[in-house]
Amino acid sequence: MIDCQDVMKRLWEYLDGELPDEDVAKLREHVAICGRCSPQYRFQIAFLGLVARAAAAQGPRPEFRRRLIAALGSASPPAA
């Protein structure tokens, strides 16, 4: 059995896919039926989505890309 306190402690690990397999099913079952934990679960998903969107990978300026490729082109081959 897993209680609400355990779910709150381990929710991020679960969402990060880092929870041991044996705990995943227990947490999933609890969240599915618990009126206290399921909004928390959906909120954390929305929060992590916001972080990913807000800080999404934006590339460098095109001039920088060209400068880097030129610098690599004139660099010596990798050391053996």
Partner 1 sequence: MTERGSDRLREQFEREALVHLDSVFCFARSLTRDETAAEDLTQDTFLKAWDHWRQYTPGTNCRAWLFTICRNLRTRQAERDKRIELADTAELDSLASAALHAALAEPDRDGGFLDMPEFGDALKHALARLPEEYREAVVLADVHDQGYPDIARILGVPLGTVKSRLFRGRRLLQESLLAFAKDAGIVAGGA
Is residue 13 involved in binding partner 1 (CB under 8 A)?
yes
For residues 16 and 22, which CB has a smaller minimum distance to partner 1 in the complex?
16
**62: alpha, beta or left, given left = phi > 0 and alpha = psi -120 to 50?**
alpha
Quote the least distance from Cβ 29 to partner 1, whole Å: 19
Binding mask 47-76 for partner 1 (x = CB under 8 A): xxxxxxxxxxxxxxx--xx-xxx-xx--xx
Query: What are the DSSP calls for 50-67, one per residue?
Result: HHHHHT------HHHHHH
- Structure tokens that stand for 24 in this block: 């995943």
Q: Which residue has the tokens 């610098």?
A: 71
Query: What residues make contact with partner 1 under the rule CB under 8 A?
Result: 5, 8-13, 16-18, 39-40, 42-61, 64-65, 67-69, 71-72, 75-80
